[in-house]
Structure 1
Amino acid sequence: MKKPELLAPAGNLEKLKTAINFGADAVYLGGSKLNLRAFADNFEDNELEEGIEYAHKRGKKVFVTVNVFPHNEDLVGMEDYLKKLYELGSDAILVSDPGIIMTAKEVVPNLELHLSTQANNVNWKSAMFWHNQGVKRIVLARELSLKEINEIRCHLPESCEIEAFVHGAMCMSYSGRCVLSNYMTGRDANRGQCAQPCRYKYYLMEEKRQGEYFPVFEDDRGAYILNSKDLCMIDHIPELVKSGINSLKIEGRMKSSYYVATVVKAYRRAIDAYFENPDSYKFKKVWLDDLMKASHRVYYTGFYFGDPGKQVYETSSYIRNYDIVGIVKDYDSLEERAVIEQRNKVFNEDEVEVLRPKGDGFCIRLYDMRNEKGEKIESAPVAQMIFTAKVSNKMEKGDMLLKAKSDK
Structure 2
Amino acid sequence: MKKPELLAPAGDLERLKMAVIYGADAVYLGGERFGLRAGAKNFNIEQLKQGLEFAHKRGKKVYVTLNIIPHNEDFKGLREYIKDLYNMEVDAVIVSDPGVFSIVKDAAPDFEIHLSTQANTTNYHTANYWYKQGVKRIVVARELSLNEIKEIIDKTPDDLEIEAFVHGAMCISYSGRCLLSNYMIFRDANRGECAHPCRWKYYIMEEKRPGEYFPVFEDERGTYIFNSKDLCMLKHIPELINAGISSFKIEGRMKSAYYVATVVRSYRMVIDKYLADPENYVYNDKWLDEIKKASHRDFTTGFYFGKPTSEDQVYGSSSYIRTYDFTGLILEYDKDSKIATVQQRNRMFVGDEIEIFGPNKKHFTQIIEDMWDENGERIEVAPHPQQIIKMKINQPVEPWDIIRKLRKE
TM over 0.5: yes
Matches within 5 A, 1:3-402: 3-205=3-205, 217-218=217-218, 222-309=222-309, 310-314=311-315, 315-402=317-404
Q: What TM-score do the two structures reach when normalised by structure 2?
A: 0.96
Q: Check the 8 A contact 1:263/1:291 in 2, yes or no.
A: yes
CA deviation vs aligned residue, 1:29-74 (integer Å, no higher than 9, x gap) = 0012100001101001011011111111111100000000011111
Deviation at 1:207, TM superposition (A): 6.0
Single out whichever of 302-311 and 150-159 deviates more from structure 2: 302-311
Deviation at 1:217, TM superposition (A): 3.2
For 2:347, the aligned partner's letter is K
CA deviation vs aligned residue, 1:138-177 (integer Å, no higher than 9, x gap) = 0000000011111111100112110000000000000000
Q: Check the 8 A contact 1:69/1:96 in 2, yes or no.
A: yes
CA distance in 2, matches of 1:156, 1:257: 36
Q: What TM-score do the two structures reach when normalised by structure 1?
A: 0.96
CA distance in 2, matches of 1:400, 1:178: 36
Q: Check the 8 A contact 2:203/2:222 in 1, yes or no.
A: no
1:56–1:215 CA distance, 2 compared to 1 (3 A): closer
For 2:90, the aligned partner's letter is S
For 1:175, the aligned partner's letter is S
For 1:380, the aligned partner's letter is A
Deviation at 1:350, TM superposition (A): 1.1
For 1:226, the aligned partner's letter is F
CA distance in 1, matches of 2:99, 2:300: 36
Deviation at 1:369, TM superposition (A): 1.0
For 2:368, the aligned partner's letter is L
CA deviation vs aligned residue, 1:77-132 (integer Å, no higher than 9, x gap) = 11001001111110000000000000000001111000000011000001111111
User: Which runs of 5 or more structure 1 residues have no equivalent in the other structure?
Assistant: 209-213
CA distance in 2, matches of 1:288, 1:220: 33
SS of the residue corresponding to residue 258 of structure 1 reads: helix
Deviation at 1:216, TM superposition (A): 5.1
Deviation at 1:215, TM superposition (A): 12
Q: Check the 8 A contact 2:64/2:93 in 1, yes or no.
A: yes
SS of the residue corresponding to residue 329 of structure 2 reads: strand
Q: Which residue of 2 aligns with 1:211?
A: none
CA distance in 2, matches of 1:271, 1:280: 14
Q: Check the 8 A contact 1:4/1:248 in 2, yes or no.
A: yes
User: Which runs of 5 or more structure 2 residues have no equivalent in the other structure?
Assistant: 209-213
- Give % identity: 57
